[in-house]
Amino acid sequence: MSIVKIAYVVTHPAYQVDGVTRKIRYQVEAWRRAGHEAEVFFITDEEKGDPPFSARIYDRKATGGRAEAYRKMISDIREYAPDLIYLRWQYHRSEVTNLSKEFPVVVELNGDVLKTAKLIAPTSLRRRLTYYHTRLTYPLLFRQAAGFVAVTHEVANLPYVRKWNHPSHVTPNSIRLAEFQVAPATGAMQLPRIAFIGQVAAWHGVDKIVELAKRTQGRIEIELIGASASELPERPPNLTCHGYLKPEDYLPVLAGCDVGLDGLALHRKGMEEACPLKVREYMACGLPLILSCRETAFENQALPDWVLQISNEDDNIERFSEEIVRFTQEMKGRRIPHRHSAPYFDVDVLEERKLAFFKECLSTT
């Protein structure tokens, strides 16, 4: 494959270490390891600090405001002269949309942007206006896009994505497995232990975690990362709440568990398919998986024997708690080597396929 020069355009807090900035770093480093050129162009409102990786940063709060930040970024992109712009979807800015008249633009879609905007619209006048603005303006970008990269098949098949008949590719979220070590197997004396990363939000299903703990007392223990004990005063004794932890603090907790549990209530958001970062972190530690939603990484493939699929329905704990206990007990002491999980989750594997898609987009423009 010939070298592709990529400008990655993002609007996000540039100095924040979170799932978005980790994903961007993983992608760009994978492209460079594959022999391509890539530069990140960050539009941000955040105060200056130490960015998590090298990037060109444009502060909308600096002198000159938004207009100057976008003007400078567009000028720098033109000077960089990429073969292709990779745009993490953002609310409409004419300066960014107009770049598609000069360079092929592939748009990354990380969710149902119209549905999300509609869900939060009732909470404030500003968000209602944002929703109507999004509905009116998204076609300006989508019509001119060279292609779409979606994180799930559900997103790729949304009517307002498919209607443009542009090339599309599904790349679920990934992780750089080489940065992690598979954790040692847990000791035989302790009860089987389940890890769950989630907050007290309806679609995370923390209420279901409490119910699962109640049904399995004396048989399994659950480590809950992201919700504090004060938020769950009625929790049973086999449920330990760690509250918010940074990755360097919660990875040792994961390492002490036998199984990683996905979110249990995405049905409350009307979602059937997902590719959450926490599942990738479970895999980085070598944990077998319990999934409720369809995991994009396994779509159209037989599930490995280290994955238990339960239903994505309101009564899934009532129906599957005994199956969860059985699976967790069977998986105790088992670790999944990275060579087995890499085809599904490793960034180098998945980004190689995306780079081939970039070539396809370039060949049709």
| Domain shared by 22 and 128, yes or no | yes
Token readout for 75 is 């000028």
| Non-local CB neighbours of 63 within 8 Å, separated by 6+ positions | none
Phi and psi torsions of 114, nearest 5°: -70, -40
> Quick one: pLDDT band at residue 250, thresholds 50, 70, 90?
very high
Q: Is 270 left (phi over 0), alpha (psi -120 to 50) or beta?
A: left
Please check whether residues 163 and 189 belong to one and the same domain.
no
**Other CB atoms within 10 Å distance of the CB of residue 322:** 11
Tell me, yes or no, whether 199 and 159 share the same domain: no
Q: Are 266 and 160 in contact (CB under 8 A)?
A: no
Query: pLDDT tens digit string along 172-214?
Result: 999 999 999 999 998 877 899 999 999 887 888 999 999 999 9
Same-domain check for residues 197 and 169:
no
Same domain? 101 vs 188: no
Domain that holds residue 310: 177-344
53 and 132 housed in the same domain: yes
pLDDT per position as a tens digit, 257-266: 999 999 899 8
**Pick from 184, 188, 146: nearest CA to 165:** 146
Asked if 57 and 51 touch (Cβ cutoff 8 Å), the reply is: yes
- What CATH number does the domain containing 275 carry? 3.40.50.2000
| Least confident stretch, 38-52, 215-229, 302-316, 321-335 | 38-52
Residues 48 and 161 in one domain: yes
- Helical spans, DSSP H, in 172-246: 206-215
The string of pLDDT tens digits covering residues 126-140 is: 889 988 988 998 999
pLDDT digits 0-9 by tens, 220-239? 999 999 999 999 988 999 99
Tell me: do 32 and 79 sit in the same domain: yes
State whether 184 and 323 are in the same domain.
yes
336 Cβ partners below 8 Å, 6+ apart?
A: 182, 283, 286, 287, 288, 304, 306
Q: What's the total number of domains in the chain? A: 2
Residue 20 and residue 92 in one domain = yes
Q: Say whether both 44 and 181 belong to one domain.
A: no
Amino acid at residue number 73: M
Helix (H, G, I), strand (E, B) or coil at 114: helix
Q: Are residues 204 and 336 in the same domain?
A: yes
